[in-house]
């Protein structure tokens, strides 16, 4: 399955196919032929697939850099390490970088690719569900600062994305479910049929599920490449999700778990406000439950939560655009003053 994403500068193909990693060299031959290849991965991914990756490209000048796994790798420290390794390998602007890992490796490597020599082509080979349906599509690349996540970044689309759903077989369950929160989000905001599929046996149709999600993200990012409008609907569940993540200092709950808590909370609220069709929150809960994403025992300090909302660095406005569902598959955007506490009230 192939999806082409158009950007203001060019376009790139996303290939979604079981087993495509095994044939990565073939799927990228037209871009990589005669070029040096610089691959970046993390130690977990390397332990499963690193050897195969190196073998595949043994016919060309190839270098693999293995970084520690985890969000802390998305830092200026490891960015500098990549710059040094790139310089040492004497990469030129016509060579190719491969990001082989989850969103951490994708975001960091993409930012290095965007900036080293003012831009080197890069290929995304996402290995987590989250990176396959979300971070590898849309061209956002970034690193974190001690002051906050994703504070330094750019829009720098890859030249190709190769998605192999079989790579997900080695993912720990919690990491898989983390990505499922974003998959459920796509169904909830855009596609009732996808949503229904998630309630069934997903193992048999994961390729189709990923394809559907990527297609939804493609349509949204093509309409709003630089995130100034429509792309905001991808933030469904994320406003409160960020509160959950911040209040636990990015430890107790993962991003997907925060988003899951956020999606259910805002839907319960909007249903009570009469904005959302009755029964929607229950249906959402059913899907979330299937992937261990319901946290009824979650408690928080309402004052601290309100503070997080007020301090949202990305927005200088006095209001927050809340994405709500009118029903599964359809959204409405409500602009609500930051001081309105509807989301953080019992
Ligand atoms: N650029 C974007 O548009 C965008 C969108 C959403 C999220 N993100 C970013 O993505 C990052 C999170 O990405 P993530 O959830 O993929 O996390 P991650 O990259 O940290 O991967 C999660 C864990 O899974 C392991 N792993 C990866 N692939 C594996 C495999 N196939 N088998 C076994 N283990 C594997 C990793 O080593 C890691 O421990 C965050 O930094 C977030 O900001 C970016
Ligand atoms: Zn998200």
Tens of pLDDT, residue by residue over 62-78, are: 999 999 999 999 999 99
The CA-to-CA distance between both ends of the chain, in Å, stands at 46
Distance 326 CA to ligand 1 centre (A): 31
Instruction: Read off the pLDDT band of 229 (50, 70, 90).
Output: confident
- Percent of the chain scored above 70 by pLDDT? 99
Q: How far does CA 135 lie from the centroid of its chain?
A: 3
Distance 291 CA to ligand 2 centre (A): 16
Q: Where are the alpha helices (DSSP H) in the chain?
A: 24-27, 29-32, 43-56, 76-88, 103-115, 129-130, 173-190, 192-198, 206-223, 238-247, 255-272, 280-290, 302-310
In testing the pocket of ligand 1, which one of 47, 125, 128 has its CB within 8 Å of the most ligand atoms? Answer: 128
Instruction: Read off the pLDDT band of 318 (50, 70, 90).
Output: confident
* Ranges 143-157, 162-176, 221-235, 254-268: which has the least confidence: 221-235
Per-residue b or e along 80-100, where b marks 16 or more CB atoms closer than 10 Å to that residue's CB? ebbeebbeebebeeebbbbbb
pLDDT for the residue numbered 228: 82
Residue 270 CB burial class (10 angstroms; 0-12, 13-18, ≥19): buried
Distance 122 CA to ligand 2 centre (A): 23
Taking residues 162-187, report their average pLDDT. 98
CA separation for the pair 123, 159 (Å, rounded): 6
In testing the pocket of ligand 1, which one of 79, 135, 213 has its CB within 8 Å of the most ligand atoms? Answer: 135
Which residues fall within 8 angstroms of residue 2, CB to CB, at 6 or more apart?
Answer: 13, 14, 15, 16
Indicate if the pLDDT at residue 1 is higher than 80: yes
Atom of ligand 1 nearest to the CA of 42: 37
CB 43 within 8 A of CB 78: no
CA separation for the pair 149, 315 (Å, rounded): 15
Distance 345 CA to ligand 1 centre (A): 32
Identify the structural domains of the chain with CATH numbers, from first to last: 2-170 (3.40.50.1970), 173-337 (1.20.1090.10)
pLDDT for the residue numbered 313: 64
What pTM does this model have? 0.95
Q: What average pLDDT does the chain have?
A: 95
* Ranges 45-59, 194-208, 239-253, 306-320: which has the least confidence: 306-320
pLDDT for the residue numbered 314: 66
Angstrom distances, CA of residue 296 to CA of 288, 289, 293, 309: 12, 11, 10, 22
pLDDT for the residue numbered 57: 94
Distance 256 CA to ligand 1 centre (A): 11
Taking residues 288-311, report their average pLDDT. 93
DSSP one-letter code for 291: T
pLDDT in tens, 332-341: 999 999 889 8
Indicate if the pLDDT at residue 346 is higher than 90: no
Indicate if the pLDDT at residue 199 is higher than 80: yes
pLDDT for the residue numbered 276: 98
Residue nearest to atom 10 of ligand 1 (CA): 103
Ligand 1 environment, Cβ below 6 A: 42, 44-45, 48, 69-71, 74, 101-105, 107, 127-128, 130-131, 134-135, 138, 140, 149-150, 167, 170-171, 175, 178
pLDDT for the residue numbered 246: 94
Taking residues 141-151, report their average pLDDT. 94
Indicate if the pLDDT at residue 345 is higher than 90: no
In testing the pocket of ligand 1, which one of 102, 172, 210, 246 has its CB within 8 Å of the most ligand atoms? Answer: 102
pLDDT in tens, 19-58: 999 999 999 999 999 999 999 999 999 999 999 999 999 9
Residue 178 CB burial class (10 angstroms; 0-12, 13-18, ≥19): buried
Tokens of 181: 């929160």
Distance 178 CA to ligand 1 centre (A): 10
* Ranges 132-141, 180-189, 227-236: which has the least confidence: 227-236
Distance 182 CA to ligand 2 centre (A): 6
């Amino acid at each position: 399955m192939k999806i082409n994403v158009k950007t203001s500068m060019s376009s790139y193909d996303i290939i979604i196919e079981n087993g495509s990693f095994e044939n990565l060299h073939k799927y990228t031959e037209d871009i990589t032929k005669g070029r040096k290849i610089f691959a970046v991965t993390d130690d977990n991914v390397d332990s499963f697939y690193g050897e195969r990756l190196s073998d595949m490209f043994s016919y060309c000048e190839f270098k693999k850099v293995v970084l520690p796994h985890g969000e802390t790798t998305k830092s200026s420290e490891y960015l500098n390490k990549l710059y040094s390794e790139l310089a040492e390998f004497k990469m030129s602007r016509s060579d190719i970088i491969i990001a082989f890992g989850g969103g951490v490796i994708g975001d960091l490597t993409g930012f290095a690719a965007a900036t080293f020599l003012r831009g080197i082509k890069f290929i995304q080979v996402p290995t987590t569900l989250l990176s396959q349906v979300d971070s590898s599509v849309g061209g956002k690349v970034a690193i974190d600062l001690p002051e906050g996540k994703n504070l330094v970044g750019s829009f720098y689309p890859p030249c190709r994305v190769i998605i192999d759903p079989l790579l997900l077989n080695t993912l720990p369950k919690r990491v898989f479910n983390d990505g499922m929160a974003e998959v459920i989000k796509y169904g909830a905001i855009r596609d009732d049929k996808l949503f229904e599929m998630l309630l069934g046996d997903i193992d048999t149709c994961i390729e189709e599920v990923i394809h559907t999600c990527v297609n939804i993200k493609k349509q949204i990012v093509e309409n709003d490449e630089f995130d100034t409008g429509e792309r905001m609907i991808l933030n469904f569940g994320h406003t409160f999700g960020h509160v959950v993540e911040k209040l636990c200092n990015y430890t107790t709950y993962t991003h997907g778990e925060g988003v899951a808590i956020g999606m259910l909370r805002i839907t319960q609220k909007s249903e009570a406000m009469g904005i959302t069709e009755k029964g929607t929150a229950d249906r959402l809960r059913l899907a979330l439950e299937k992937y261990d994403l319901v946290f009824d025992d979650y408690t928080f300090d309402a004052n601290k939560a309100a503070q997080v909302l007020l301090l949202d660095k990305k927005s200088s406005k006095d209001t927050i655009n809340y994405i709500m569902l009118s029903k599964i598959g359809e959204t409405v955007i409500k602009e609500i003053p930051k001081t309105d506490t509807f989301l953080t009230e019992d």
